[in-house]
Amino acid sequence: MNDPRGNIAVREAERREGPRYAIAEGSALLFTGDGSATAGRLVDLSQDGCRVQTSVPVFSRAWFPVEVFFQTMGEAFRFSGIVHWTSRGNLLGVRFVNAIPERMVALAKVICRLEEAAPARKVIELMTEQEPPTAADQRSEWNT
């Protein structure tokens, strides 16, 4: 899609079919086209795919076949997919393909749990971003 503002984030958001949930889990990628493998970190997850950050640059072309292995919320997953996009060599978007229906149901359950936890995580993030009040701050509040 050609965005006249050149905003890549807008174009990415328009392409997504479902919501993505932030996650930080170890993962492994097996590039089935050439047999190479690398470790990575799952940074977001959706019913349709995931985004993986690798520790070393991976130069893969779009539509390259890949298998993604990860574990989250006590559930282990292995999905076949294709590299949908790459960025800076160490960030990959993977779209799941030919998934077994039972595994998609298991993934949907995990995503529901991520969705339920998302508001609580946001509150915790907001609370940790604020610096705790100092003793002087508390004294001035008591005096007002």
pLDDT tens-digit readout, 3-14: 333 434 434 444
> What integer pLDDT is reported at residue 136 of this predicted model?
52
> What integer pLDDT is reported at residue 29 of this predicted model?
93
> What integer pLDDT is reported at residue 19 of this predicted model?
84
CA distances from 46 to 33, 57, 73, 110, 141 (A): 24, 23, 14, 10, 45
Ranges of residues in the chain with a pLDDT under 70 are: 1-17, 118-144
> What integer pLDDT is reported at residue 53 of this predicted model?
95
Q: What is the β-pairing status of strands 65-72 and 49-54? A: unpaired
CB hemisphere CA count around 35 (13 angstroms):
0
